[in-house]
Amino acid sequence: MRIILASSSPRRQDLLRRIGIDFEVIPSKVVEERIECEKDPVEFVKCLSSKKAKEVYERTFEERLVIGADTIVVFKGKIMGKPKTPEEARRYLKALSEESHEVYSGVYFVWDGGEHFIFDKTVVWFRKLPEEIIDKYISTGSPFDKAGGYGIQDLGSVFVEKIEGDFYNVMGFPIGKVWEFLYKKGWWK
C-alpha cells in the first residue's frame, strides 16, 4: 500500500523516516487561512488535518493511506498560528516568555474504506527570553513556518525550560501515536 504524507514539513518527514516508514510526499494544496474551523484546539487540528489528508486522497489513486497533520500553539486560550511578519513573531515570542502554553497536533489518516484521527497535547514552559535572542532567532527566518513562531528542534530549543508530554508533538508530529496506529493496522513492518 502507498503511504502518502500530505505535508511538506521536513520535521514530519524526518520523524516518519526514523521509524522506518516507506512513504512519498504529496503536499496538500489546502490554504489554511481560507478554512474556517472551530476554535476548540482539538477540533481545530482535526478540521485542518482532515481537510489536508482528504484533499490529497482525492488527488491520488491506487490503494493508499494518506496522512495529514496540523499543529497549533494555544496561549491563554487563543490559537497562535505561524507568524507572517517579524513583528508578529516578536509579539508571539515576547508573550510566551516566562509563560506556559499548549501545543496540539492532530494527525488524520484516510485510506480506502476508513478514516481515523489522533491528537496529542504537550505543555511547554519558556524561560525569560532576552530581546537579543528573540531578534537573533527572528533573523534566522525560522519562526515563519512554525506555529507559535518557534521550533523546539532548532535554536528555539533554548527558549524551553521544561515540557510536560511528548517532545515530538512539539515538533509537530506525535510519532509514537502515529507508529502505534500504523502498527495496530498492520501497516508498519
CA-based torsion, 131, 134, 137, 138: positive or negative = negative
- Considering 14, 22, 70, 154, which one is annotated as catalytic? 70
Interacting residues of 116 by C-beta distance below 8 A, sequence separation 6+: 108, 109, 181
- Phi and psi, residue 76, nearest 5°: 50, 45
- Residue 88: in which H helix or E strand, if any? helix 86-96
Question: Is residue 70 annotated as part of the catalytic site, yes or no?
Answer: yes
Look at strands 24-25 and 78-80 and give their pairing. Answer: unpaired
Burial call 90-117: b when 16+ CB within 10 Å, e when fewer: bebbebbbeeebbbbbbbbbbbeeeeeb
CA-based torsion, 88, 93, 96, 98: positive or negative = negative
Catalytic residues: 70
